[in-house]
Each structure stands twice: as C-alpha cells, then as structure tokens.
Chain A
Amino acid sequence: MAAQNGGTTNGGTRWIGTRPVRPDGVDKVTGRARFGADLHLPNMLVGKVLRSPHAHARIRSIDTSAALALPGVKAIVTRDDFDDLPSEFVPAGEMLINYRDVVRNVMAREKALFEGHPLAAVAATSEKVAKEALDLIRVDYEVLPHVLDIDEAIAPDAPLLHEDMITAGVEPPPSAPSNVAKVVEFAHGDVEAGFAEADVVVEREFSTQPVHQGYIEPHSCVASFAEDGQAELWCTTQGHFVVRGHCAKLLGMEVSKLRVTASEIGGGFGGKTVVYLEPLALALSRKSGHPVKMTMSREEVFRASGPAPGTWARVRVGVTKDGRITAGEAELKYQAGAFQGSPVQPGCMCAFAPYDLEHVKVTGYDVVVNRPKVAAYRAPGAPQSEYAVESIIDELAKRIGMDPVELRLKNAAREGTRAAYGPTFGPIGLVETLEAARSHEHYRAPLAPGRGRGVASGFWFNIGGETCATLNLGEDGTIALVAGTPDIGGSRAALCLQTAEALGVDVEKIRPLIGDTSTLGYTFLTGGSRTAFASGLAVIEASKDMIGQLCERAAKIWNIPVDAVEWADGEARPAGANAGEFDPLTLADLAGVAGKTGGPIVGRAQINAQGAGPSFGTHLVDVDVDRETGRVTIERYTVIQDAGKAVHPSYVEGQLQGGAVQGIGWALNEEYVYDEYGRLQNPGFLDYRIPVCSDVPMIDTVIVEVANPTHPYGVRGVGETPIVPPMAAIANAVEGALGIRFTDLPMSPPRVLKALEEAHIPEAAD
C-alpha cells in the first residue's frame, strides 16, 4: 500500500505522510468516547416521536388531550408549535434545502408525506411513559393514494404530494402542478453532430434503488432550554454550526442564544448534515422546562431519515473505432423523497466528468415521491449517474475491441480539459490512477475460469468553505487545537499532522478538540470531503499566525527587529546579520515566558477555503458468480485514488476501503422493500443488507499523489470519490463473468438467477 508519488507536493515531509496513533483512538476503543446518546443531565426527560403509519395522508386533526393527561407526560409538541416558514433555500451539506420544507419534514403540517413522518413528539419522565403517551394521541387522517417510484410519480394522473408544485427550469413554466420539482440541463457542443462522427453508439436505460447511509449510530440529541431563553444542544452531527442555524430558524431564536456541541459521531456519510430530532427536542425542552433527550431506534432511522435517491437513467455514448468518444448524452431522474431537492444536479455534473468530451448534454429531473426526504450520501448524486456512464464505457470498449483502461486513458480528463459540467480542470490525477491500474498486478493476474474482472473510474468535486481554527499555546509549549468540523474519518489526526508540519513541532504536543458553536466562528460542516483540506488550511493559517507572534516575542527578548527572526524546525532563530548571535528559542522557551513578553499566544484563522482539488479514482474488481443461486462473490478488489497528498495514509486507505464496501452493498444487496400501502418492510440491518466483514475481501489500496496546488502540502479531499466507481466496476465484472449486463441495481441473487435462466448461460467449466 505504498504511496506512489505521481506528482510533486509543495513542501512538507517531516510529519505529513506519517501514521501516528489517532488522538481519539484510546477513548474509542475503551468505550470512553461520548457519542450522541451518552449524555445524561439531571431531571432529564425522554422524548419520543409519533410517526405516520401512512405513506400519504391529509391530517384532519391531532388530539393530544388524553396523552397530556397521562401522569409523567410533561410536554407534547405538534405542527401547532412551529411557525410556518417561507420558501428559502440554504446549503445543507452538498445539497440545498428549503426552510419551508424543513419545518414540514421535522413535523408534518398539512399532510403526512411518507410512512414515518413525525406528527407529534412527547416528553415524559420515562421512555415507557412516553411510548404509552404516543398510543393515546388521536390523529384523524384522510388517507391518500401514494407514489413510491419515479414512473408512478411522473405518470399523468399521479397523486400529487404538493398541489402547488410547478416544475422549475422549464420555459414556459407548465400550467399544471406535478411531482417534478425541477429540470436542470448541462450541455456544450452539439451531441447529434458528435454521434454522427461515432462508429459505435450504445444507449441503455439504468435504474438504482434508494440506499441508506447505514451509519451505526442512530440520530440522538439532548436539548436544554433555560428560563432566560438560552439553550444548549448536544447532538451527533456532521456540522453543529449548521444544526444551530437550522434550529434557530425553526424555533425563532437568535443563533447566539443556542450553543450546539457535537458529540463523537458514529458515522454520518452525509446523513447527519440535516436536522430531525434536534428542533423537536428543543421545542419539548422549551415547553417542559426540562432537558429532553431523544434517540431514534434503528427502525426510525430507516423509516424517517434520508437515503440516497433511487434513480432512473438513459445514457447514450458514441465512440470511433480507434477509441475516441465523440459524444455523451444522459437523461437522469432522481427521487427526492417527500420534498424537492435530490442531488440530481451534481449527478448531472459528474456523469461525464472523467472524460474530455467535445459534445455533451445531460438533463436531470428532481422528482418527489412518498418516501423519506433524501439526504446527502457520500458524493451525493454521483454514484448513480457515473454507474450508468461507466457501464456504457465498458460496453463500448468491448464493442471496439479495446482494453477498457486503454479506452478511458485515451479520453481521460486531464489538466486543461474543459469539464463536461463547465469549468477547466487544473492538475488532476485521473490519468495517473488509470496508469496505476494498468500496471497493477491485479489487472494482469490470471482470472480463474468463470470469474469476471471489472474496472470503472469515478469523480467527485470536493469542496472548501467557511472554516475557523484556533491554536492555544500552553505555558509548557504544548498546544490545544480547536477545530469546528466534527471528526468522522480521522480528521483530528490529519489536522494535528498539518499543524505539526507548519509549526515544526512534535505531533504528540498537539491535543485536538472539536469546539462548540460558541468557541469558534461559523464553520461549515464535515462534508464534501472538505475537512482535511479546509480545516487543514485553517490550522496552517493559524500556525502562521502563531509563528508571527512567536517571532515577535523572540525579537523582543533579543532586542532585534522582528524581520531578523526566522522560524525553523519549531524554534525561533536569529537570522541575517544576527545569525548565530543568540541561542535559538524553542516553542516551549517562548511559551514559558509569554506572560512577560506580551501575554498569551493564540494562533487563529478564519478562512473561506477555495480551490478544493477534484478527486478521481479507478477501481478493479474480480467477481465469482454462483450460477445456481445467483450469488455474486467479490473475490478481489483494488481501489486506486488520487489523494493529492495523503496526510495520514492509514485514514486515506480507510476512506478508500470504506467507500468501496458501501458501493459493494449498493451494487449487490441493498434495497428498501415496501408493501402495497407504502410501508417499509425491512427497517433494520437484518433485512436491509449492508455487507458484513466476511462478505468482502481485504480491499487493496493504491494512493496516487498529484498535488493540489492550492494547498501547501497538496491535499485533496478523499472521502467521497471511493463510493462512485464500485457499482459499475462490479456490473462490468459480472458482465465479464456471465456475458449479461445488469442495468438495474441491486444485482441480488434472485435477479441474477432470473437473468441467468433467461439467458441460458451454461455452467462455467471448473
């Protein structure tokens, strides 16, 4: 798993790229770490949610009187406890949300729009009492016909979720409402002219099922409102500043009166970028005068928190005999869930991003259905569209008799390529991942009879954004690092390493923590693969700020001008004409006398990080297929990805492996099973089948490093791209094994067996 240096970094070698034990490791392996449900406060109540049993129903009335009369019930909130909000779109992770919808998603107003939609929340002295109270709440429903899938939702006579929703992005605007919220288009060149140049054109339709992020830790929070209107909130989230903003908006508070602390987080993958329980717990605490704790059951997580969208795609790509892709066209329809705002736009933008195309056109539709509102999930929107495109690229390679890596290399986006979605790429590493794939032992290894090998590439933008960090210098020269981005994937280790590099001090001298919303300026959430990059830039800036102060102190002690002091290897040295005149002063020396030289030393940074380098990866996979049961087994898997610079290679490898495993589940088994009434039949990990450890081989990784020029050490985000290629890589491998192309996910045993029977594939020779 050695890192291959495919480019140059801008500096930094002492700490960057090393693998120290993570600062949060001991607490996590001993159980000491405090996750969302681990906080207990005196006089705390338990909050539970009454959820709609119907996929679609008008709410005529809600009667809470009997529940309120139950001894031990301290407060109940319903739609009447939240003010309606006007339409206002704000960023949530890498997606947009509308406050008008958020207030309705956390608590149904006019209608229940999915099974599990909250209707009321109860705070009581025990969970038992709270549950009994839920049974006493009377809701009068008018049950309405529901739509679960895109085809149903866009049918001419489909029941409407939102009777006033007029499709945006269409000129002239439609006169009648529909379940299509928005149409988007990205195009350049002339696709028909491009297809005319092609020798082979392949067009196919694809579908993918909604998949849940599958974080192990359910949503959980504790809210505590004081009599003076100040409130505190502890919750498991990817972004406590974002939670503060949403909750303040929903509760009509000033943000400075709400202090939000992020607990340790047991997985998020995008799904913890939105609010569910938090506004309800705050409202219950405000009403009852007690702290209120709310924790979802696993069943509630499945019924009521956002999956990635199920999608439909039609994709058409043309290629010349010598392997030049002449045009690409795609039509994409994404389920948004109960409220508009699927990631169809990034899906459109990513679809052809790995390729240098003259002619490209992508159209996307955002479709509402009676399912939970979708949430971000690792590269939101990209896996579905790139699955379709990468499947067709594989088919085209076969049709023209060209190696699939070769075909990709011939057409790969590189520095200077105009991306299919508009901008021109800077230095990027797709070619390097493809070359690493081609020369990898896995790609050349002989394939056992009956097995298939697949390859696919993937792209994700990565983001930067608003970020603050503080470095507090202790009197013994050690440092408390305060970041505002919750640590999901080992980012504390990555931030300590970047700080150690920038300051020239031992990484063990730096102790990181995630500050609450009152300790730092606004910091956007952990998402968009931005934390190692953007919080990294912030701690580097804060280090520079601290170095400036340290040099000033040394200049004062030596009584020389500050520009005659340099900072190197963690110490101040006299430079220029004064070089060698004084003994260097270390960080500890300067920290020890800070009180006499001007007071405490604190390095600060508040930045809006720009220039997140896009990330590309290429995956190789070998599969075996049991021809009698339809079971697909992943026999070997290799992830190759450009990390720019791997700050802590173990955690980069972990991201690559984790993304691949989630993609394997998406490809092979994960799906929601609904009954005819729109009620979920498999709300748990037993029957919603994410892979278990024994389902996957050890995932090999190769880290390619093409430096991101906007980061001092070349860092790019790495967390999301690895979930993009697996579905196509596996479908391409299954096609290699069976000669059958699967265009509908998941490739579950019953589907594979059925396809085998229809194709009459002979048994593989032993």
Chain B
Amino acid sequence: MQYEAPESVEAAVRLLSGGGPRGRVLAGGTDLLVQLRAGVITPQLVVDIKRIRESREIREEDGMLVVGAAVTGAELGEHARAKSMWPGVVESAELIGSTQIQGRASLGGNLCNASPAADTVPALVAAAAECRVAGPNGMRRVPVEDVCTGPGQLSLGDGEFIVAFELAAPPPGSADAYLRFIPRTEMDIAVVGAGVNLSLDESGRCTAARVALGAVAPTVILAEEAGAALVGTECDDSAMEAMVAAVRAACRPIDDKRGTAEYRTKVAGVLATRAARIAATRAREAR
C-alpha cells in the first residue's frame, strides 16, 4: 500500500487522478483506519490530506464560515465563532466518539464514510452547507446532500476530494440544532439523527426551515415537507405535529442491529420536534 501526504490541493488531485489504482482519502482516519485494520478495505493508495492547509483550517470569508475537511471535532468545538454561527453543526461534530476520537474525527471523513447514520451530515444538510470539491477540472461546489448516493457510495468523480465546507452566515433570527438517539450516552452510532435549521422573523414567525434526518434511509435525507410545515407558523404544537407527520412520511428505514424501522420512524419525529424547539429557542435568543 502506498501512503502519500501531499501539501497542496493540486498535489492531492494529481495523486488521486494519477491513472493508477483508485486511492482513498485519509482525513482523521477514525473510520478508514479501522476498516483497513479489519480488512474491510484494501486500498493500494492512501492520500492523507492533513498536511494541506485549506483542509486543516477554519476561516471566515466575507462572513461565510469555511471549515477544512480535515478539521477535527475538538478544533471545531473550541472555535467560538463557529459555535455562535452554527451551534447545531458544531454539536453534531462533538457528538462523535470519545475525547480521543474527537482529536481526529473530521467533517470530511464523516461525510465521505457515507454512512446513513453519520452525525454531522444531517446538521450540515440542514445548514445548507456546500462542499468545495477539488478535482482535475478545478474546484466545484456541491451541496452536502448530493455527495452520498447510498451506503458507502459517493457522487465524487475520479481524482476529486472534498477540501472544505462552506457555511453561509446565518440570517438574523436563525439557528440550528442537532440531536441523535443512541441507547448509551456516548461511544455509539446514531439510531436516528435529526438536524433542524430555521429562521424566525421579528414576530416569531418561521420564515425558513430545513429538516434533515439521519439513519432513516440509505442516505441522510432532507425532509423538505417537514421544513415547509414549519414555515409561516410560530412553531407551535400544531405546526410541530404537522412537521412530525412529514418527518415520519419521509422515513424509509430498515430493521437492523441498531434499531427497528418502526422505532426509528417514531423517534425521528420525537427528535425532529426536540431539535426544532432548541433551534427556535436559539433563534429567539439570537435576535
């Protein structure tokens, strides 16, 4: 196995599109290294992106937050500006693994592991985050929800990798939140995850809402009708009920060792409600 740690985006693209065997991108490695050691994957090339500056830093560009794909959960959690702009995205990253894992686990790795249960992905989708994807034809932007096409499946082309995530400056009166359900309190994989991002006007009426769900379909899903159920309301109980109905209608889960389809569908509604309430409270406080 060949291991490379290029120091520029261009060098990484060259390695990944070199015409040789398809390489795997290494960020924190909390999934990739485990799969390597378990013999689940046997890549011939591993390209470590942790020496690429753009992949390792958190920056603000014209009010927009840009988070490198290999920035760790711990770094994101200690970034005051990130936390105040996108508390839901930050809390989703901080939920992953243990303190030790937090020193490695990244947004880019979490997305590209392409698990439907990835914690940061519903939060990023709810936040309408976009990926900066580098490739042989230069840089392009891809909405997070378009990256995964199924468990373990990515839409990225040959030689492409995610360099960073763009999170727009939230409008006034906006906030996000993420909740997941696990039977334990930590060190577990989401049975269900729910990210909600909403905006309230001065009267407390919801003007925009995005609801994204994890572990209830082959990929993280953006439940557009669930978000629509909140828009125009004051996020009161009846609006929440309508949102829950839309959430449950959007769920297409399976029975597996982590939970039944029936349980996931029910709890998706519960978590979406709780996350929406947290987001609404944060949005009011943000005003």
Contacts and interface: CB of A to CB of B under 8 A. Distances in A.
A631 B179 CA distance: 15
B275 to A, nearest CB: 13
A749 B181 contact: yes
Given A629-B270, A750-B263, A753-B263, A692 B258 contact: no
Nearest to B266: A753
Contacts of B267: 628-629, 749, 753
Given A694-B186, A695-B185, A687 B257 contact: yes
Contacts of A131: 39
Contact of A689 (B188, B260, B266): B188
A669 B270 contact: no
A673 B257 contact: yes
A682 interface: yes
Consensus secondary structure, chain A interface: loop
A2 interface: no
Contacts of A673: 257
A628 B260 CA distance: 15
Nearest to B273: A628
A694 B188 CA distance: 12
Contacts of B258: 687
A692 B184 contact: yes
B187 A750 contact: no
B183 A631 contact: yes
B189 interface: yes
Report, as a range, how many residues of chain A touch the other chain. 20 to 34
B259 interface: yes
Contact of A750 (B185, B189, B259, B270): B259
A450 interface: no
B210 to A, nearest CB: 23
Nearest to A749: B183
Contact of B189 (A631, A669, A686, A748): A686
Interface in A629-646: 629-631
B188 A629 contact: no
Report, as a range, how many residues of chain B touch the other chain. 20 to 34
Interface in A611-649: 628-631
Nearest to B39: A131
Contacts of A687: 189, 257-258
A7 interface: no
A692 B183 contact: no
A691 interface: yes
Contacts of A8: none
Interface in B74-114: none
Nearest to B37: A297
Nearest to A672: B257
Interface string B248-259: 000000001111
Nearest to B185: A694
A689 B184 contact: yes
B151 to A, nearest CB: 16
Interface string B184-204: 111111010000000000000
Nearest to A673: B257
Contacts of A694: 184-186
A691 B257 contact: no
Nearest to A694: B185
Nearest to A632: B183
Interface string B230-267: 00000000000000000000000000111110110011
A681 interface: yes
Contacts of A750: 259-260, 262-263
A692 B181 contact: no
B263 A689 contact: no
A692 B186 CA distance: 7
Contacts of B259: 750
A146 B191 CA distance: 30
Contacts of A695: 184-185
Chain B CB within 10 Å — which of A629, A687, A691, A694 has the most?
Answer: A629
Contacts of A692: 184-187
Contact of A682 (B185, B257, B266): B257
A691 B266 contact: no
Contact of B184 (A628, A669, A754): A669
A82 to B, nearest CB: 29
B257 A681 contact: yes
A630 B266 CA distance: 11
A691 B187 CA distance: 10
Nearest to B270: A628
B228 to A, nearest CB: 23
A669 B183 contact: yes
B257 to A, nearest CB: 4
Contacts of B262: 750
Contacts of A668: 183
A629 B257 contact: no
Contacts of A749: 181, 183, 191, 263, 267
Contacts of B188: 686, 689
A691 B263 CA distance: 21
Contacts of A669: 183-184
A181 B256 CA distance: 33
Contacts of B187: 686, 692
B184 A691 contact: yes
Contacts of B191: 749
A663 to B, nearest CB: 16
A750 B263 CA distance: 6
A519 B211 CA distance: 68
A631 to B, nearest CB: 7
A486 B263 CA distance: 45
A753 B270 CA distance: 12
Contacts of B257: 673, 681-682, 687
B33 to A, nearest CB: 15
A131 B39 CA distance: 11
Nearest to B183: A669
B38 to A, nearest CB: 8
Contacts of B270: 628-629
B35 to A, nearest CB: 13
A754 B266 CA distance: 10
B186 A689 contact: no
A691 B186 CA distance: 10
A754 B262 CA distance: 10
Interface in A388-439: none
B54 to A, nearest CB: 32
A748 B183 contact: yes
Chain A CB within 10 Å — which of B39, B183, B257, B259 has the most?
Answer: B183
A588 B122 CA distance: 71
A671 to B, nearest CB: 10
Nearest to B192: A629
9 contacts: A628-B267, A668-B183, A669-B183, A669-B184, A681-B256, A689-B184, A694-B186, A749-B181, A750-B259
Given A694-B186, A749-B181, A754-B263, 14 more contacts: A131-B39, A629-B267, A629-B270, A673-B257, A681-B256, A689-B183, A689-B184, A689-B188, A691-B184, A692-B187, A695-B185, A748-B183, A749-B191, A750-B263
**Closest 3 interchain pairs by CB?**
A750-B263, A694-B185, A673-B257
